[in-house]
Structure 1
Amino acid sequence: MSDTKFSNIAQIIEQRIDKGDYPVNAKLPTHRVLASELDTTPATVAKAYKLLSDKGRLESFVGRGSFVRSQSDLNQVIQAPKDEDDFNFSILQPCLYKNVNALQNAYQVAGERLTSELIGYTEHSGHEAHRQAGVTWAKRYGLEGGDTCNTVLTNGAQHALSLLINALTKPGDTIAVEALTYPGILAIASLSGRNVVGIPMDESGASPEALRSVITEHQPKLVVLIPSHQNPTGITMPEARRREIAAVIKQEDIWLVEDDIYGFLNEAAIPAISNFVPEKAFHISALSKAISPAMRCGYIKAPADKVALLNAHIRANIWLSSPINNIAGTHLIESGKAFEIADMQRETASERQRLARSILTSISCDAEGYHLWLPLPKHWTTEHFVMAAKNRGLIVSSGSYFEVSGNEENHIRLSLMSIATEERLAQGLGELKALLESDMDTLFPF
Structure 2
Amino acid sequence: MTPASASASASASASVSVSVALPPLAARARSTGGSPVRDILAVTARPEVINFAGGLPAPELFDREGVAAAFRYVLEEMPGQALQYATTEGEPELRERLAARMSVRGLPTEADDLLVTTGSQQALSLLATALIDPGDTVLVEAPCYLAALQVFGLAGARVVAVPGDAEGLDPDALAELVVRERPKLLYTVPTFQNPTGRTLPADRRAAVASVAARHGLWIVEDDPYGELRYDGERVPWIAAHPDARDRTVLLGSFSKVMAPGLRLGWLRAPGELRRACAVAKQAADLHTPTVNQLAAARYLAVSDLDAHVAKVAHVYRARRDAMLAGLRDALPEGSEWNRPDGGMFLWARLPESYDTAALLPQVVREDVAYVPGAPFYAADPDRSTLRLCFVTQTPEEIGEGLRRLGRGLRG
Place the TM-score, normalised by the shorter chain, in its bin: 0.7 to 0.9
Q: Is the contact made by 2:88 and 2:288 (CA closer than 8 Å) also made in structure 1?
A: no
Asked which structure has the greater CA Rg, the reply is 2
Query: Cα gap change, 1:111/1:117 in structure 2, threshold over 3 Å: closer, same or farther?
Result: closer
Compute the displacement of 1:67 (Å).
Answer: 9.2
Q: Is the contact made by 1:73 and 1:187 (CA closer than 8 Å) also made in structure 2?
A: no
Q: Is the contact made by 1:136 and 1:333 (CA closer than 8 Å) also made in structure 2?
A: no
Alignment partners' CA distance in 2, 1:302 and 1:77: 34
Q: Is the contact made by 2:137 and 2:159 (CA closer than 8 Å) also made in structure 1?
A: yes
Q: Is the contact made by 1:76 and 1:397 (CA closer than 8 Å) also made in structure 2?
A: no
Q: Any stretches of 5+ residues in structure 2 without a counterpart?
A: 1-23, 329-334
- SS where residue 283 of structure 1 aligns? strand
Residue 89 of structure 2 is matched in structure 1 by: 125
Alignment partners' CA distance in 1, 2:403 and 2:254: 32
> Does 1:109 pair with 2:73?
yes
Residue 386 of structure 1 is matched in structure 2 by: 360
Q: Is the contact made by 1:234 and 1:372 (CA closer than 8 Å) also made in structure 2?
A: yes
- SS where residue 159 of structure 2 aligns? strand
Alignment partners' CA distance in 1, 2:235 and 2:299: 23
> Does 1:405 pair with 2:370?
no
Q: Is the contact made by 2:320 and 2:391 (CA closer than 8 Å) also made in structure 1?
A: no
- SS where residue 282 of structure 1 aligns? strand
> Does 1:432 pair with 2:388?
no
Residue 375 of structure 1 is matched in structure 2 by: 349
Matched AA of 2:67: L
Alignment partners' CA distance in 2, 1:74 and 1:113: 40
Residue 167 of structure 1 is matched in structure 2 by: 130
Q: Is the contact made by 1:94 and 1:345 (CA closer than 8 Å) also made in structure 2?
A: no
Compute the displacement of 1:77 (Å).
Answer: 5.8
Matched AA of 1:333: L
Alignment partners' CA distance in 1, 2:157 and 2:353: 36
Q: Deviations over 1:371-397 (max 9, x none)?
A: 110112445321232121111111210
310, 314, 334: which is aligned to 1:347? 314
> Does 1:216 pair with 2:183?
no
Alignment partners' CA distance in 2, 1:176 and 1:73: 22
Q: Deviations over 1:56-75 (max 9, x none)?
A: xxx9967x9x9975685452
The count of corresponding residues between Structure 1 and Structure 2 is 376
Matched AA of 1:373: W
Query: Cα gap change, 1:122/1:384 in structure 2, threshold over 3 Å: closer, same or farther?
Result: closer
Query: Cα gap change, 1:110/1:425 in structure 2, threshold over 3 Å: closer, same or farther?
Result: farther
Residue 306 of structure 1 is matched in structure 2 by: 273
411, 415, 422: which is aligned to 2:389? 415
Q: Is the contact made by 2:32 and 2:154 (CA closer than 8 Å) also made in structure 1?
A: no
1:48-59 aligned within 5 A: none
Residue 25 of structure 1 is matched in structure 2 by: none
Matched AA of 1:312: V
Matched AA of 1:103: V
Q: How many percent identity over aligned positions? A: 25
Query: Cα gap change, 1:113/1:428 in structure 2, threshold over 3 Å: closer, same or farther?
Result: farther
Indicate the RMSD between aligned Cα atoms, in angstroms. Answer: 2.4
Alignment partners' CA distance in 2, 1:383 and 1:416: 20
Alignment partners' CA distance in 2, 1:399 and 1:241: 24
Compute the displacement of 1:425 (Å).
Answer: 2.3
Query: Cα gap change, 1:384/1:229 in structure 2, threshold over 3 Å: closer, same or farther?
Result: same
Query: Cα gap change, 1:67/1:84 in structure 2, threshold over 3 Å: closer, same or farther?
Result: closer
Alignment partners' CA distance in 2, 1:285 and 1:113: 28
Q: Is the contact made by 2:323 and 2:395 (CA closer than 8 Å) also made in structure 1?
A: no
Matched AA of 1:430: R
1:28-427 aligned within 5 A: 73-76=36-39, 79=42, 81-99=44-62, 100-139=64-103, 142-267=105-230, 268-276=233-241, 277-361=244-328, 364-368=337-341, 369-405=343-379, 407-419=381-393, 421-427=394-400
Q: Deviations over 1:152-195 (max 9, x none)?
A: 10001100111111111112212111020111011112222222
Matched AA of 2:78: L
Q: Deviations over 1:8-47 (max 9, x none)?
A: xxxxxxxxxxxxxxxxxxxxxxxxxxxxxxxxxxxxxxxx
Query: Cα gap change, 1:232/1:331 in structure 2, threshold over 3 Å: closer, same or farther?
Result: same
- SS where residue 196 of structure 1 aligns? strand
TM-score normalized by structure 1? 0.78
Q: Is the contact made by 2:96 and 2:110 (CA closer than 8 Å) also made in structure 1?
A: yes
Matched AA of 2:81: E
Alignment partners' CA distance in 2, 1:364 and 1:195: 30
Q: Is the contact made by 1:74 and 1:184 (CA closer than 8 Å) also made in structure 2?
A: no
Query: Cα gap change, 1:137/1:191 in structure 2, threshold over 3 Å: closer, same or farther?
Result: same
Compute the displacement of 1:412 (Å).
Answer: 0.8
Alignment partners' CA distance in 1, 2:135 and 2:252: 27
Q: Is the contact made by 2:102 and 2:108 (CA closer than 8 Å) also made in structure 1?
A: no
Alignment partners' CA distance in 1, 2:65 and 2:80: 27
Q: Is the contact made by 1:71 and 1:406 (CA closer than 8 Å) also made in structure 2?
A: no
- SS where residue 197 of structure 1 aligns? strand
Matched AA of 1:431: R
